[in-house]
Each structure stands twice: as C-alpha cells, then as structure tokens.
Amino acid sequence: MTALQPLFNAVTVIFIVATMFAAGLATTLSALRAVLTDLPLLLLALLANLVAVPLLGWGIAALFGLPAAGFVAVVLVASSPGGPFGAKLSMVQKGDVVAGTAMQVLLAAVGSLSFGPMSSGILALAEVGGGVSLDVAALVRTVAILQLVPFAVGLIVRRYARSAALSWHPATAMVSNVTFIMVLAGMLLGSWHDVVALLGSRTLLTGAVLSVVAFGVGTLLATGAPARRTTMGGITAVRNVGPPLAAVGIAFGNEQAVLGALAAVLISGLVVALPIAAVLGRDRDGGTA
C-alpha cells in the first residue's frame, strides 16, 4: 500500500471533513440546544460514550487476550464516540432522529478532544506492545481541525444560509458515504493479508461483542421514551473512524497490521449493530423526529 498511501491519506481527510461538514449542514442550533439543555440525557450519554465504552473496550480486549494490533484497534475504536453512521441507525430503527443526530455530532466534537488522552492513557496502562502511547497534543490538534472546523462551518451555513445548506447537504452526504466505503476498501485491500488472518479470530468477535455491549450501555444510560433510549444505544454502538485513522497515521505510521485490525473491528461492529436497529424499527410505525 506504500505507493497508494498519499491517495489513501487524501481520501481519509476528505471523508472526515465531508462527514463533519454534512453533519453541520444537517444540524440546527435548536436541536443542539435541546440536547445540551437536557442535562440528564447529556450527562448519561457522555458517561456512556467517553468513559464506559472505552473502559469496556479495554476490558473486553484483555478478556479475549488479543494480540497487540487487535488490542490497539479495539481501544482506539472504543475511545472514539460519535460515528456518523449512528445517525443512520436512528433512521433505520425509526427512533428519535433529531435527538440522535444532535447527540452524534456533539459526541464527535467532544470526542475529537477526549480521544487522545483516553486512548493514550489506556494503552499506556495496558502496556500494549511495550507501552505504546500516542502524541496526544498532535492527535488532538489534527482531529480537532479535521472535525470541529468543518462542523462549525456547516453549522454557520445552516444558520445563516439555510437554503444553501439544504441544497449542499445531499451531495456532501454522498461524498461522505462514498469516501467511507473507499476508506474501508483501502484499509481492507492494503491489509488484506492481516484481515484474512483475522477471519474467525478473536479480534472480529471482540468487535462484535463491543458493539452489542455498547448498544446496551447506551440504551441503559439514557432517558426518555424507548425510541429515544434505543436511539442513544445505536449512537453509542457506532464509533467514529476519523480519530482512530488519524492515530494510526500519527503514532503507528499506518502500520498494516493495525489498519487491518481496525477495519475488522469496525466492520464486525457495523454488521452487528445494523440488524439490531432493523429489528427495533420493524415494530415501529415511525420516528419521533
């Protein structure tokens, strides 16, 4: 993958920026305000996503005795809340789409700052691979620029040029979806030996278990009607791929084994979370958005 590395890096940057810009274009200040002022829901969601899931990821990875690459991948994924696909899960399960989308972008923004210290602290305490640690300052700076700035720009456009935001959002969302597939494909193709080696392994199982546990934790640590609670479960189950990719590039030099494990964990988590949302949505007539 060495020859294609610059292209992979460029597509990754486009994916992260497009995703957060699209999130900003789709988010209203009133929706964000509603989440921010619902203190019980906000505090429980922050507890679930910023504390509980990272610690559970560490515990599950240790319980399954993962090798270093898989352990690192699980910790990075577990420490990164606010995955954009979480908002899609709220639609699939016909849940509280407005609250889910607002919470997703809020968690992505906060997670861009919390990811570095949390993942670095866990990896240092676990002493994985001889005590791997991340350059927290560089990671926070990189992720904040790639996520917070595009989101803020999108939010401003939505606030002051609503018609432009509504017209730009479909194309931006399509760019996000296409580049997400390209990023996953690049991770798989560039690390296919490592991914094949993981088939039937504990790394794939760990990713699936983490997704199920995170869904349950997010649902339990939420308030409101069942539709809102399971929406928060879906938001918690889907983690944000942007910060882990930045971490792999900064701290691990895009090591193929870590990229392969990261792809395996992300895919296995999505494969488990999507059917859960579909089953929940089957018995609902419509969302609360």
User: In 3-state terms, what secondary structure has residue 188?
Assistant: helix
Q: Is residue 155 part of a domain?
A: yes
The dihedral of CA 251, 84, 203, 61: what is its sign?
positive
Q: Is residue 201 part of a domain?
A: yes
The dihedral of CA 172, 173, 178, 182: what is its sign?
positive
The dihedral of CA 114, 213, 276, 284: what is its sign?
negative
Q: Is residue 125 part of a domain?
A: yes
| Rounded CA separation 66/129 (Å) | 11
Q: What CATH number is given to the structural domain containing 190?
A: 1.20.1530.20
User: In 3-state terms, what secondary structure has residue 67?
Assistant: coil
- Which tokens go with 121? 């602290």
236, 142, 143, 171: which is closest to 25 by C-alpha? Answer: 171
Q: How many helices (H) and strands (E) does the chain have?
A: 14, 0
Q: List the domain range (segments joined by +) for residue 148.
A: 5-282
Q: Which residues contact 254 (CB under 8 A, 6 or more apart)?
A: 1, 5, 8, 248
212, 220, 261: which is closest to 237 by C-alpha? Answer: 212
| Rounded CA separation 25/146 (Å) | 16
- Which tokens go with 213? 């546990």
| Rounded CA separation 215/229 (Å) | 10
Q: Is residue 287 part of a domain?
A: no
User: How many structural domains is the chain composed of?
Assistant: 1
The dihedral of CA 191, 263, 51, 32: what is its sign?
positive
pLDDT, residue 219, reads: 96
pLDDT, residue 287, reads: 44
- Which backbone phi and psi does 85 adopt, to 5 degrees? -70, -15
Q: Is residue 250 part of a domain?
A: yes
Residue 84 per-residue DSSP state: T
Q: How far is CA 127 from the centre of its chain?
A: 24
Q: Is residue 288 part of a domain?
A: no
pLDDT, residue 7, reads: 79
Q: Which amino acid is at 159?
A: R
pLDDT, residue 139, reads: 65
Q: Is residue 289 part of a domain?
A: no
**How many Cα atoms within 13 Å fall on the side-chain side of residue 127?**
1
pLDDT, residue 52, reads: 97
Whether 154 and 27 have beta carbons less than 8 Å apart is answered as yes
Average pLDDT of each block of 10 consecutive residues along the chain (289 residues)?
68 81 83 85 95 96 91 94 81 83 83 87 79 62 76 90 92 85 72 57 88 96 92 93 82 79 85 89 62
Cβ–Cβ contacts within 10 Å for residue 121, how many?
A: 17
Q: Is residue 184 part of a domain?
A: yes
Whether 107 and 82 have beta carbons less than 8 Å apart is answered as yes
- Which tokens go with 37? 């002022």
pLDDT, residue 173, reads: 84
